[in-house]
Amino acid sequence: MNLGTAITGAIFIAIFMLPFIFMLQGRKKKEKQLLQSISTVANNHHCKISQHELCEEFAIGLDETANHLFFLKKTADQEIAQHVNLAEIKSCKVVKTERSVNSKDVNYKSIKNLDLQFSFLDKKNSDLLFSFYDAEENMELNGEIQTIEKWAKIVNNHLKP
């Protein structure tokens, strides 16, 4: 193989790889911004995130010392920040809302919403929902089911019996 062919091949490989590199850099930048945003929310409540998870549109984090859970969701037009003191929570569960899709040949159910629902010890407080997925905002699920189930388990492990 001559030098010209090797250089041409290297240039084509570089051109092919550039979009993937830029996409990866954009994702890393967005994740860094999400982590910074949720850390700021935690700092405003005198907490520090010790355990967290980042997805494309949301971040969830836990201050294990203060026993507070933080959730931040960013969409194209808004940013929603929520937090809950786990000492005030009786239970946490995953709420999956489904819708039926019926056509002449196919009948199936699809997920409409995925929420993490918190029930308070004090019955005067209404349940709190952290919305992980809404079919009207996103067309497809991208790991939200696994993430919400993982965090429901983490939260329930931090609730006082």
pLDDT number for residue 16:
83
Provide the pLDDT for residue 100: 80
Summarised one tens digit per residue, pLDDT across range 58-73 is 899 999 999 999 999 9
Structure tokens at 45: 């409540």
| Tens digit of each residue's pLDDT (9 = 90 or more) over 98-136 | 888 777 777 777 888 999 999 999 989 999 999 998 888
* pLDDT band, very low/low/confident/very high, at 146 (cuts 50, 70, 90): very high
Summarised one tens digit per residue, pLDDT across range 17-47 is: 888 777 777 777 888 888 898 999 999 999 9
CA torsion angle 16 21 22 27 (round to 10): 140
- Asked if residue 53 has pLDDT above 80, the reply is yes
Lateral strand order in the sheet of 58-63:
51-54, 58-63, 68-74, 79-85
Q: What pLDDT score does 161 carry?
A: 65
The position carrying tokens 């993982």 is 150
Tokens for 112, please give them.
Answer: 């409409």
What pLDDT, on a 0 to 100 scale, did the predictor assign at position 99? Answer: 83
Q: What confidence score (pLDDT) does residue 93 get?
A: 95
| C-beta separation of 44 from 4 below 8 A | no
Dist. CA 135–CA 109, nearest whole Å: 13
* CB-CB contact of 57 with 73 (8 Å): yes
- 69 alpha-carbon distance from chain centroid: 13
Write out the two tokens for 15. Answer: 């051109």
Q: How many other C-beta atoms are found inside a 10 Å radius of the C-beta of residue 69? A: 28
Dist. CA 147–CA 59, nearest whole Å: 10
CA dihedral 53, 55, 60, 62 (to 10 degrees): 10
Asked whether residue 1 carries a pLDDT value surpassing 70, the answer given is no
